[in-house]
A and B are shown apart, each in its own frame.
Chain A
Amino acid sequence: MITLKDIEKTYETAAGYSFVLRRINLDIKEGDFVTIMGPSGAGKTTLLNIIAMLDTAWKGQYHLDKHAVHELKQKERMAVNRQYIGFVFQNFNLLENLTVYENIDIPLSYRNIKSSERAGIVCDTLDRFGIVGKKDLFPGQLSGGQQQLVGIARAVAAAPRLILADEPTGNLHSSQGKEVMDLLKQLNQEGTTIIQVTHNENYATYGNRVIQLEDGLFVENTA
């Protein structure tokens, strides 16, 4: 599903170029649950953002399904992003002025889905995640675990084939973290490809493959 070939990302500093990612080559098949691990500053999140097409300044070749992402303009990349990807953030990033219902609705509205169709999808998603009773609450009225639940619900609402999760349990208690990981596992079992970044080795075991990054280089790839 995903093929990365010689992906490199650099920053220009006073001392010259500094590599964040170097010669990254990676193949991810549809249905994989990949965990990216590594110390702080290793380039994990950068890699995730490149896959999410949020980061545009990199070199190399990136194919997502049939799309040669490296040849696409930013506008086209965002269209591919909307078609394939759902994103789960470490700090939830729910929109504070929007209710739970509206937070789940918002990515659907960005995909130009009709209002009546969106309402059905949002209701199904609320039901699936067991948060119907909280649909009119604002994020500030939810616990951290509940917020991340909504964050995942928001990410999957548009039925993406790929979920990117950047330390989804980073701001949660262990019990809440387990719940979230169970949920991701379940989504993976239902066919969604998942790439997560985590520091937690226990949660890494939820996936079928671990990638270790250090100083922008793959040091281990348990394919």
Chain B
Amino acid sequence: MDTLLNDIKYTIRRLLKKPIFTLTVVLTLAIGIGANTTMFSVVNSILLRPLPYPDSNRLVMVWESQPERGKFHELVSVPNYLEWQQQCKSFETMGLALGGEMNFAHGQKSCRIKVAGASSGLLSAFGVKPLFGRTFNIDDDQPGGNSVALLSHSLWQNQFGSDPKVIGQTIKVEGGLMQCTVIGVMPADFQPFNDNCKGVQCWLSLGTMEWAFQQRSNRMGSVVAKLKSGISLDQAQAEIESTAKHMTYQYPENKGYSAKIVPLMDETVKGIGASLWLLLAAVGLLLLIVCVNVANLLLTRLSSQEREMAVRTALGASPWRLIRQVFVESLILACLGGLIGVLMAFMGCRVLYLWMGEHIPRIHELSIDGRVLGFTAMICLVSCVLFGSVPALRIVGSEVLSVLRNSSNRSVTSRCRILQDSLVVMQISMALVLLISAGLLGRSFISLMHTELNMKPENVLTFNIGLPIGSYRENQKRSDFLSQLDAELQALPGVQNAGATSQLPFMNWNSVGFWVLEGLPLEPDLEAKARYQGISPDYFKTIGTPLVKGRFFDERDKQGTEGKIIINETMAQRFWPEQNPIGTRIGHGVQFGNGVPSAYEIVGIVADAKQQTLKGEIQPEMWWLNTQHPPYHVIYTIKTDCNPSSLMPSIRKALAQMDNTVTISDIYTLKERISGVMSHERFLLILNGLFSAASLLLASLGVYGVMAYAVSLRRQEIGIRIALGATRNTVLGLVLKKGVFLAGIGSIIGILGAWGVTRVMDSILYQINPLDPVTFSIVPTSLISITLLACYLPARRATKIDPMEALRYE
């Protein structure tokens, strides 16, 4: 033991004597270990750590599904939920949430907040206990039952000043449409479970949502259930499928519908899992490059330590003792790198949280816990073994005598050089794999950015407007308000156009309407389906979507006249191929007009614009006038000729003059909203790009180090060559030839590696082949160029060797 302590003491002393070398190795390791710790923290927090609910492994989401149409994540209607709850025995508890926004008023304060109607089973599934008060009970679930509300912690703090006597107070929702009694306050750490409930500030009892109980086809709820202990996912799936099948016989609205159970964890992290594992793999590759780099540095230094090792051997040291000494040094370096790496990871996690807080699920849970520290310790150990093995192997293979026999430390280097060259080739090949994957992601991102949006999002401001239902029950009142608001906004200085819509592009479109061709039976044909939304006449002009045929809406189309719609090109081509649908009359299904479909005339066709996702295919879309179906909630779009945000004060003033109970929320520019859609891709690209840049830097430094060392070893030889008449170019070529050779071999291996690795990226690339020839040619060429640049510096130094000095030096 004391000899081990001596080894540690001598190693620390040696490292302190070479502070620049030590610092270089430790910082290099810190970059690799820090990046790995950060990425593993993300993977751990998002993918590995259980959800923050009791028995979260038993929590599932239950969706309605249409297997024949390949749809497995449809929202659930309240009647179907109630039926499942009653009939299925696999679940300990089942709950439903109906998310939305509402105008909220307490005293003189009013605002628009996210609310959700929740059944009592929902909160019991999550095992959440209120901070004080009570949660919902079965009586609260009954339609027309108790109108009670649970406040989120933030609403309680912001709107009620953390009043402990809030229980029993009455709040008004939607201009007095509903009056609810506060029964409790949720704890601050309760995190709603999915997009439908993200940011909910007020939970209303399900009984307050009477309308939701009426139509079985009104599918708007998210269902969460907790499996009974011992019940498997398959058992529960089989039971609910059987129940759903039975329901298709009972209820015509359920024709074609089944049910699908998905673990809540999978649902929460969907879409991000593959990207995170890819990033972890990328950062793992970076660590390998770091290890190779450090191994190379240690090997270079070991060359100068060979004499010491030989003397130790002559004094009786066994190979094991020498190897132990190397590993002690490696372990100390890895531990120092790990310590700094963990500090870097703390900062990295913070940066990621601030940067991606809104876009990555569970990122608020990002933290460095015991498992992460265990992982860091493990990678420190693995790194230590990886980069320590190379010099250790070198020691095993060293020849004591030849070292002792020579006074110079430059004797036994040929095998060492081969080893170093191999390490450089490894670095180049691994860096190339990372760079090619980053190149593919970059090209994919560029494709995504250049996707034809058929919109001009520059200088377009968007914000939500909520009309209190209680004050605006009549269609005419809402229609008048919206028309007047249109006019007021249009008149504001700096406004070019103002338009309103019920759904902006890339928002979560849940409203799907059915339509049928004029003259055909009114039964909904599932195949003939289009998404719909309401807009104001100038909406398309405001967001810059061009008209392809016909006309936009105008004054003629306003309330009181016959219904008119505008459709997109995809809809025109799918249902009227090679025909002109302008003037055609169509009807729509059961959602509006008390189940009696209305007839609409197609007046215009607009260019296809992505509405749901940037990567997805464009679906048939149709738009009617807001004033014909005036909504309570609209999103305004304002095209300005100045900084859009600067108009907000005058917009607020204009709105307040019309009605100060109408609220504004979610103020963003259209560009910001579109940018948000690409956040996952940007996240993936930037992190992968950073890792690749680091790998390129390390590989270049590795090449530089090896070449510089090689030049220093060949100093005498080069001196003799120059003395014998070698020109500058000859010497330059002599050194660069080796660089070209190493870069060439490394590139070939790297390309083969990338060819295998990038295939798994197919699912996350957009319009780019994983074997994209452009990326596969430009990236290696660039890497070789940079490698040659790294070789050039030592090569240039070689040309300046003074032969007399070099010979004297030896």
Which residues in A have some Cβ–Cβ distance to B below 8 Å? 45, 49, 52, 54-55, 75, 78, 81-82, 87, 89, 91, 93, 95-98, 102, 105-107, 109-111, 115, 154, 158
Considering the complex, give the chain B residue whose CB is closest to the CB of A75.
B318
CB-contact partner of B316 in A75, A78, A91, A96, under 8 A: A78
In angstroms, how far is the closest chain A Cβ from the Cβ of B402?
10
Task: Check: B317 CB closer than 8 A to any chain A CB.
Answer: yes
Contact residues in A for B6 (Cβ distance below 8 Å): 102, 105, 109
Q: Do B307 and A93 touch across chains, with their CB atoms under 8 A apart?
A: yes
List, in ascending order, chain A residues with CB within 8 A of B165's CB. Answer: none
* Cβ contact within 8 Å between B312 and A52: no
Task: Decide: B317 and A110 in contact? CB cutoff 8 A.
Answer: yes
Closest to A50 in B: B401
Asked whether, in the complex, the Cβ of B314 is within 8 Å of the Cβ of A54, the reply is yes
- The listed residue (A45, A115, A154) touching B315 by CB distance below 8 A is A154
Inside 8 A of A98's CB, which chain B residues have their CB? 10
Q: Is B321 located at the chain interface by the 8 A CB criterion?
A: yes
Are the C-beta atoms of B13 and A97 separated by less than 8 Å? yes
Residue in A81, A102, A106 whose CB lies within 8 Å of B312: A106
**What residues of chain B have their CB less than 8 Å away from a CB belonging to chain A?**
2-3, 6, 10, 13-14, 17, 307-308, 311-318, 321, 400-401, 404-405, 407
Q: Which residues of the other chain, A, contact B307 by a CB distance below 8 angstroms? A: 93
Q: How far is the CB of B191 from chain A (nearest CB, A)?
A: 55
- Chain A residue, CB-CB nearest to B314: A87
In whole angstroms, what is the CA distance A106 to B2 when docked?
12
CA distance A87 to B310 in the complex (A): 12
- Which of A91, A96, A106 contacts B407 (CB under 8 A)? A91
A-B contact sample (4 more), CB < 8 A, given A75-B318, A106-B315, A109-B6: A93-B404, A95-B312, A110-B316, A110-B318
A45 touches which one: B308, B316, B405 (CB < 8 A)? B405
A218 to B318 Cα, complex, angstroms: 33
Compute how far the CA of A118 lies from the CA of B194 in the bound complex, rounded to whole angstroms: 68
Q: B401–A82 contact, CB under 8 A? A: no
Q: Please report the C-alpha to C-alpha distance between residue A172 and residue B584 in the assembled complex, in whole angstroms.
A: 111
Is the CB–CB distance between B311 and A93 below 8 Å? Answer: yes
A165 to chain B, nearest CB (A): 12
Q: How far is the CB of A160 from chain B (nearest CB, A)?
A: 10
Which residues of chain B are near A158, meaning CB under 8 Å? Answer: 316
A95 to B10, CA, bound (A): 11
Chain A residues near B321 (CB-CB < 8 A) = 110
- In-complex Cβ contact of B14 among A78, A97, A111, A115 (8 A): A97
Chain B residues with CB under 8 A of A55:
401
Q: Bound complex: CA of A158 vs CA of B316, how far in Å?
A: 11
* Complex alpha-carbon distance, A154 and B404, angstroms: 17
- Which residues of A lie under 8 Å from residue B315 when comparing CB positions? 87, 106-107, 110, 154
Would you call A49 and B316 a contact (CB within 8 A)? no
Q: Chain A residues near B314 (CB, 8 Å)?
A: 52, 54, 87, 89, 93
What is the chain A residue whose CB lies nearest that of B320?
A75
| Contact yes or no, B313 A107, CB < 8 A | no
- Chain B residues contacting A81 (CB-CB under 8 Å) are 316
Contacts of A115 in B (CB 8 A): 2
Whole-angstrom CA separation of A46 from B144 in the bound complex: 104
Name the A residues within 8 Å of B401 (CB-CB): 49, 54-55
Least CB distance, A13 to chain B, in whole angstroms: 16
Complex Cα distance, B398 from A54, in Å, reads 12
Of B311, B312, B405, B407, most buried by chain A (CB within 10 Å of CB) is: B311
Residue of B17, B316, B317 most packed against chain A (CB within 10 A): B316
Chain A contacts for B3, CB-based, 8 A: 109
The 19 listed contacts between A and B (C-beta, < 8 Å) are: A52-B314, A54-B314, A54-B400, A54-B401, A55-B401, A78-B318, A89-B311, A89-B314, A95-B308, A97-B10, A97-B13, A102-B10, A105-B6, A106-B312, A107-B315, A109-B2, A110-B317, A115-B2, A158-B316
Which chain B residue has the least Cβ–Cβ distance from A49? Answer: B401
CB-CB under 8 A from A96, the residues of chain B are 308
A211 to B316, CA, bound (A): 27
A residues near B2, Cβ cutoff 8 Å: 109, 115
Give the nearest-CB partner of B17 in chain A: A97
Bound CA span A210–B14, Å: 42
Tell me the minimal C-beta distance from B253 to chain A in angstroms: 83
User: Is A107 touching B316 in the complex (CB atoms < 8 A)?
Assistant: yes
Residue of B313, B315, B318, B405 most packed against chain A (CB within 10 A): B315
Interchain CA distance A77-B759 in the complex, whole Å: 55
How far is B747's CA from A166's CA once the two chains are assembled, in angstroms? 50
* Distance from A43 Cβ to chain B, minimum over Cβ atoms (Å): 13
Residue of A nearest to B6 (CB): A109
What separation, in Å, do the CA atoms of A95 and B401 have in the docked complex?
A: 17
CB neighbours of B318 from chain A (8 A): 75, 78, 110
| Chain A residues in 8 Å Cβ range of B313 | 54
Q: Which 7 A-B pairs have the closest CB atoms?
A: A110-B316, A115-B2, A82-B316, A93-B311, A107-B315, A109-B3, A110-B317
Contacts of B317 in A (CB 8 A): 106, 110
User: Which residue of chain A has the shortest Cβ distance to B14 in the bound complex?
Assistant: A97
Interface centre among A82, A91, A95 (most CB of B within 10 A): A95
Q: Determine the distance from Cα of A125 to Cα of B200 in the docked complex, in whole angstroms.
A: 80
Q: How far is the CB of B70 from chain A (nearest CB, A)?
A: 68
Bound CA–CA A160/B357 (angstroms):
70
Chain B residue nearest to A154 in the complex (CB)? B315
Question: A121 CA to B6 CA in the complex, in Å?
Answer: 17
Q: Which residue of A lies closest to B15 (CB)?
A: A97
A74: shortest Cβ distance to chain B, in Å?
A: 9
List residues of chain B with CB within 8 A of the CB of A107. Answer: 315-316
Q: A residues within 8 A CB of B312?
A: 95, 106, 110
Provide the bound-state CA to CA distance between A87 and B404, in Å.
Answer: 12
The CA of A95 and the CA of B307, in the complex, are separated in Å by: 9
Q: A89 contacts B404, CB within 8 Å?
A: yes
Question: How many angstroms between the C-alpha atoms of A107 and B313 in the bound complex?
Answer: 9
**Does A95 contact B311, Cβ atoms closer than 8 Å?**
yes
CA distance A107 to B404 in the complex (A): 17
Q: Chain B contacts of A75 at CB under 8 A?
A: 318
| Distance between Cα atoms of A166 and B453 in the complex (Å) | 84
Most central of B3, B307, B400, B405 by chain A CB within 10 Å: B3
**A42 CA / B311 CA spacing, docked (Å):** 23
User: In the complex, what distance in Å separates the CA atom of A76 from the CA atom of B217?
Assistant: 86
A106 CA to B7 CA, complexed, in Å? 10
